[in-house]
Structure formats: C-alpha cells, structure tokens
C-alpha cells in the first residue's frame, strides 16, 4: 500500500493512504512540526519536532524506533545520507 507521510502543526506525524487519503496512523510529539519528514528505503520515517527531539518511526504502524533529544527545537527536514548519518538543523 502506498503511503504519504506528513508532519503537522499540532505535533502529529500522519500516515495517509496514497490512493484515497484515508488516515492510517498519527503518533503525536509534544510540539509542532514545521518541516517535511524524510523516509528511508527501509520504510523508516524521520521527523524533527519543536519538542527538541528527532524521531524515527516504523512506516508500517508509526511505532517509535528511537528518538534523540537535540537540546533545542528542530525546524528543518532531516536529510538522509548513505553513510547512515543524518544532519538536522
């Protein structure tokens, strides 16, 4: 099933069905998300939140794989590199 992933101003990370736009899952962070999310080839969704965390979620069900505290709000899109590094700003 094709999916569209979106960060929202109410702090949720939404997964929507690509065909009909229906809601699949939407875990919440503690603050707003202003930038796009990034999705890896292995279906991991990365999102940066103003709650001072960067999140990695399973693309299938939205469960948290890990989250990393940055010490400040993150309002930029995570960028994925083949070397398994991820700069965020």
The pTM score is: 0.88
| Alpha-carbon distances of 48 from 18, 21, 73, 76, 80, rounded to whole Å | 22, 23, 8, 7, 13
Q: List, as one string, the DSSP characters of 15-36.
A: EEETTT--EEE--B-SS---S-
Positions in the chain short of pLDDT 70: 1, 83-89
- Which structure tokens are listed for 15? 């997964």
**What per-residue confidence (pLDDT) applies to 54?**
94
CA 81 to chain centre: 16
């Amino acid at each position: 099933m094709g999916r569209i992933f979106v960060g929202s101003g109410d702090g949720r990370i939404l997964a929507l069905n690509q065909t009909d736009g229906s809601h699949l899952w939407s875990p919440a962070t503690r603050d707003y998300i202003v930038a796009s999310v990034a999705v890896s080839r292995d279906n991991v969704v990365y999102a940066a939140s103003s709650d001072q965390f960067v999140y990695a979620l399973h693309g299938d069900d939205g469960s948290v794989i890990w989250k990393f505290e940055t010490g400040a709000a993150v309002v930029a899109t995570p960028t994925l590199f083949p070397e398994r590094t991820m700069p965020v700003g």
